[in-house]
Amino acid sequence: MKTRIAIHADFPELALLMGELGYPTSLDEMTFRMSALAKIDNYEAFVAVEAESVAGMIGLSIAPSFYRSDLAGAIVALVVSPHFRGRGVAALLVACGERWFAERGVDRVSVNPSNHRTSAHRVYNRLGYEQTGLRFTKTLKGI
């Protein structure tokens, strides 16, 4: 299995993977999102591929921080196809993301998995990530 930057041909499988995360996504929506993110230097998406099938993806971002003087890295999305789970794909993608961050001078990475994704919590713990906080979310409609 290898990792590489996501390309347009991956978008149909990426749309399906977003559905696995609980975010049903059409091909048009995925194409729009990936095209918009591709224009921003501090965002990147990598896929793990085996025999031309996308096994999983990781979405990454880098931003300045209000509370630290260095850049902050974030794993924005991480998802593995059900057919490839339990085979180390998440670890492979996280390692790929960590290399990308390190090459850009990032020395601290955060991830905010949903509370109900307990299997993801275990993966992050195994990979050396510590639980350091809690996330609150609010949808702004009609403001």
Q: What is the CATH number of domain 2-126?
A: 3.40.630.30
* pTM score of the predicted model: 0.91
Predicted pLDDT of residue 16: 97
The ranges of the chain with pLDDT < 50 are none
pLDDT of residue 103: 96
CB 77 within 8 A of CB 21: yes
Number of other CB atoms surrounding residue 129 within 10 Å? 16
Closest CA to 47 of 91, 2, 114, 100: 2
